[in-house]
Amino acid sequence: MLAGIYGLLSASFFVSMDAVDVAFTEAAVGAGVFPLLMLTALTVAGRYEQTAHRRPRAAFFLVLVTGALLILGTLDMPPFGSPDAPAHTHVAARYIQASPTEIGIPNMVTSVLADYRAFDTLGEVVVVFTAVVGVLILLTSGEQRQQSSPANAVETMRSHMILRVVSKMLIPLMLLFALYVQFHGEYGPGGGFQAGVIFAAAIILYAMLFGLAKAQAAIKPSILRLLAAFGVLLYGGVGVVSFLTGVNYLDYSRLAADPVAGRHIGILVIELGVGITVAAAMILIFYAFAGYATGRVEAE
């Protein structure tokens, strides 16, 4: 719970620093995904604790040295907020001045994310994909999990009547909002990642209230796996199409007759790839954790 508040706090910090896109993501991740994962992990791992601390002095010394070095490092840094710091005048200046005409979309963060540095974003999607494959290989052992969940599910349904009704109305709204964020990322804050997380959150909410089995019946893990892989391939595939049009990897300029229109298409498609992979990955990770938890409770 504290972690969630911490997440929200850092999100509001980002807003005050004008980083709305980052704030949006941090709100979704820090206040949503991370505490959720924490909670599921805690249910499995138990929460009793011990007060054994190891070598706190040595650690404190190490931390002190590191911190001092960092402070030393800031001494020669340009002052906070100064507009003529090299960070703002060199590469970034071009993004701010030229991106509205070169890419043709108002949200510069999206321009940089999905075009100038699109390859980083491909890497980011692959990181999510790696994590989901890693979680799956760690937490799925096949058999016996499936049949155990229905009993559990029935119980959840009875105990939360009001929640159920409210969320029935809420879930479609969330899904709609996810779509809005997905396709509105060019104009306002948002984009594939945030949309994917919101979409996943809606499904996870459903799974929490109606039981894992019902959710898994509605959206099958095997299909999600395909989708997670498909999103990465879609993103990477755009790059391969760039080859075929005779330009460098992830250069969208020839996807349409007009380079700016081509970039639009490119950004839309890769954001879609991001959204699909992220949504599928988040749901799969939740399934894996929740499935593991219920499997263990039944086993005991």
**By CB under 8 A, is residue 86 in contact with another protein?**
yes
Q: Which member of 195, 201, 251, 276 binds another protein (CB under 8 A)? A: 251
Report the nearest approach of another protein to the CB of residue 214 (Å). 23
**By CB under 8 A, is residue 271 in contact with another protein?**
no
- Give, as one character, the DSSP assignment of residue 77: S
Binding segment toward another protein, per CB under 8 A, in 122-130, 153-161, 162-170, 210-218:
122-130
Sign, CA torsion 263/266/271/272? positive
Cβ–Cβ < 8 Å for 280, 203 = no
Task: Show contacts with another protein in window 272-291 (CB under 8 A).
Answer: 285, 288-289
Binding segment toward another protein, per CB under 8 A, in 151-159, 161-169, 174-182, 237-245:
237-245
Q: How far apart are CA 223 and CA 216, in angstroms?
A: 10
Task: Show contacts with another protein in window 141-170 (CB under 8 A).
Answer: 141-142
Query: What are the DSSP calls for 227-272, one per residue?
Result: HHHHHHHHHHHHHHHHHHTTS-TT--TTSSSSHHHHHHHHHHHHHH
Q: Alpha-carbon dihedral of residues 61, 63, 65, 69, nearest 10 degrees? A: -170
Q: How far apart are CA 203 and CA 286, in angstroms?
A: 10
Nearer to another protein, 92 or 157 (CB): 92
How many residues of this chain interact with another protein, rule: CB under 8 A? Answer: 128
Report the nearest approach of another protein to the CB of residue 150 (Å). 22
Task: Show contacts with another protein in window 176-205 (CB under 8 A).
Answer: 187-189, 193
Report the nearest approach of another protein to the CB of residue 25 (Å). 5
Q: How far apart are CA 300 and CA 279, in angstroms?
A: 32
Q: Which member of 1, 80, 161, 257 binds another protein (CB under 8 A)? A: 80
Binding segment toward another protein, per CB under 8 A, in 120-128, 145-153, 159-167, 209-217:
120-128
- Give, as one character, the DSSP assignment of residue 147: H
Amino acid of residue 116: Y
Binding mask 126-145 for another protein (x = CB under 8 A): xxxxxxxxxxxxxxxxx---
Phi/psi zone of residue 268: left (φ > 0), alpha (ψ -120 to 50 degrees), beta?
alpha
**By CB under 8 A, is residue 225 in contact with another protein?**
yes
Euclidean distance between the first and the last CA atom of the chain, given in angstroms as a whole number: 27
Q: Which member of 1, 71, 161, 162 binds another protein (CB under 8 A)? A: 71
Binding segment toward another protein, per CB under 8 A, in 56-64, 156-164, 200-208, 213-221:
56-64
